Amino acid sequence: MKKYILALDQGTTSSRAILFNREGNIIGTSQSEFTQIYPKSGWVEHDAMEIWGTQSGAARQVLDTIGIKTNEIAAIGITNQRETTIIWDRYTGRPIYNAIVWQCRRTADICEELIEKGWQEIITKKTGLIIDAYFSATKIKWILDNVKDARVKAERGDLCFGTVDSWLIWNLTRGKVHVTDYSNASRTMLYNINELKWDEEILAELDIPISMLPEVKPSSHIYGYTDPETFDGVQIPISGDAGDQHAALFGQGCFEPGMAKNTYGTGCFMLMNTGEKPVKSNNGLITTIAWGINNKVEYALEGSIFNAGSSIQWLRDELKLIYDAAQSEYYANLVEDTNGVYMVPAFTGLGAPYWDMYARGAILGLTRGSKREHIVRATLESIAYQVKDVLQAMEEDSGIKLKDLNVDGGASANNFLMKFQADILGVPVNRPKVLETTALGAAYLAGLAVGFWNDQGEISNKSSIETTFIDCMDEEKREKLYAGWLNAVKKAME
Ligand SMILES: Nc1ncnc2c1ncn2[C@@H]1O[C@H](COP(=O)(O)OP(=O)(O)O)[C@@H](O)[C@H]1O
Ligand SMILES: O=P(O)(O)OC[C@H](O)CO
């Protein structure tokens, strides 16, 4: 009998392969960081071949390390950094340009032009999104306009576009399958989330041929099988596909409207399930497809924060204030407060609820007494403040006051951050036993499609809380600290 589901979690900073058993427990993990390419200020790229290499390598390694045979795997689930744009040649399978990463700001001027031409309202109505360089659409246009012969080839039907999930499925099946799922399609700014189809009017405006787009499928569905040469002659069904934040929502068991989660990775993303109807935001959030399953599509409201864990990497790699991410907790705890220092990590602009493509990072309130500890602490606190900005918007839009917040993702391992988060929000924060809820969500989606698990009822019982961080800051202090943050953001935007 097949005993395991293999989840491939292709994140912004690393490719992970995680093996789950029927109880939803982790049996093995393998992880490989890959190169971040910054060709110019505000530009971010990845090498698409390195993405595939590290991801397939991680899959191979997790099986070898724990000695599991490929024929024991019931299915593969894929989850991925969203919006990141890859265009490859249909015949050679080679990318024609580096992957343009979701954080990349190079297409801000294309976005400006669209806004000036009056497209904001139309785009929001059709796609649920706010015009921003974050989404795939303008990245595709940039590649077609800037890479030699790209447009001619695209018009001839020689090129494929995909978000990272499409790229992985294409490679796993050796070029037989070119698909994506509803959740990933809804991040392109080309997909009509009401009519569930690629939007020809937006495609025409951006001059993107529809022939290069993948077929859009449910998030739990057999898309194809691994090519025998990839996995020891075994054909494993690839049967789960969702953007990482959607997979985390699923992995946290947020199946009912009003249920929400917040993931702390490179960025930070809060999603609330809004059920079978898209809810429009009046407070700077976006509307997205949560997933497609059981012949229906469900929607979510999302607050996207562009820089969270990335700011901790910046402390480590650029400022060299810490050796590793976990050490940030140690330094933050050495001081009582930030001594008036605020850090705004707008390295690649600001996402929800501000949507400012041109804001840049800032450290404010420095004095002669400011120390490493204060800057490290201010950086961790900035993550929590950004989450407060988004939570307030979400409560306004949904009319639901959250009683507590379910969290996950790499940086949620930081106890200082989680405690400060609870304090600054004024609600308890629940951290689950399995922090890898993104991979778990992809595993669930894959397992449901092949009957490894029977239904969502069976899996919603599996998630359990490891720690609840209780809020105990008094209201006056909370308001004072938050007012300082809002002032710092204003200055970063100026
Ligand atoms: N203990 C920690 N404290 C603060 N940040 C952390 C900690 N551990 C990891 N991180 C941050 O979390 C991010 C990695 O989380 P992960 O969920 O793997 O992100 P991604 O999927 O975006 O690659 C990194 O940006 C890292 O700096
Ligand atoms: O790589 P992560 O986990 O920060 O997620 C990136 C998001 O999917 C971008 O929208």
Give the model's pLDDT for residue 250.
Answer: 95
Give the model's pLDDT for residue 163.
Answer: 98
Retrieve residue 389's tokens.
Answer: 């900005």
Q: Is the separation of the CB atoms in 238 and 223 below 8 Å?
A: yes
Q: pLDDT tens digits, residue range 202-232? A: 999 999 999 999 999 999 999 999 998 877 7
Give the model's pLDDT for residue 478.
Answer: 96
Dihedral angle sign, alpha carbons of residues 119, 120, 121, 125? positive
Provide the residue ranges of all domains of the chain, joining segments of one domain with +: 4-245, 253-432+464-493
Ligand in closest contact with the CA of 409: 1
Distance 431 CA to ligand 1 centre (A): 15
Q: Do domains 4-245 and 253-432+464-493 have the same CATH topology?
A: yes
- 105 is an annotated ligand-binding site residue: no
Q: Measured from the CB, is residue 345 less than 6 Å from ligand 1?
A: no
Q: Is the separation of the CB atoms in 178 and 230 below 8 Å?
A: no
- 12 is an annotated ligand-binding site residue: yes
Q: DSSP code of 294?
A: T
Give domain 4-245's CATH architecture. 2-Layer Sandwich (3.30)
The CATH number of the domain covering residues in 253-432+464-493: 3.30.420.40
Q: pLDDT tens digits, residue range 348-383? A: 889 999 999 888 999 999 999 999 999 999 999 999
Rounded to the nearest 5°, which phi and psi values hold at 119?
-85, -10
* Strands annotated E in 450-492: 465-469
Give the model's pLDDT for residue 372.
Answer: 96
Q: Measured from the CB, is residue 421 less than 6 Å from ligand 1?
A: no
Give the model's pLDDT for residue 463.
Answer: 64
Q: Ligand 1: which of 414, 418, 434, 440 to mutate, most ligand atoms within 8 Å of CB?
A: 414
Distance 309 CA to ligand 1 centre (A): 5
pLDDT < 70 positions in the chain: 461-463
Give the model's pLDDT for residue 140.
Answer: 98
Q: Is the ipTM of this complex over 0.90?
A: yes
Could you tell me which residues are beta bridge partners of residue 79?
A: 9, 242
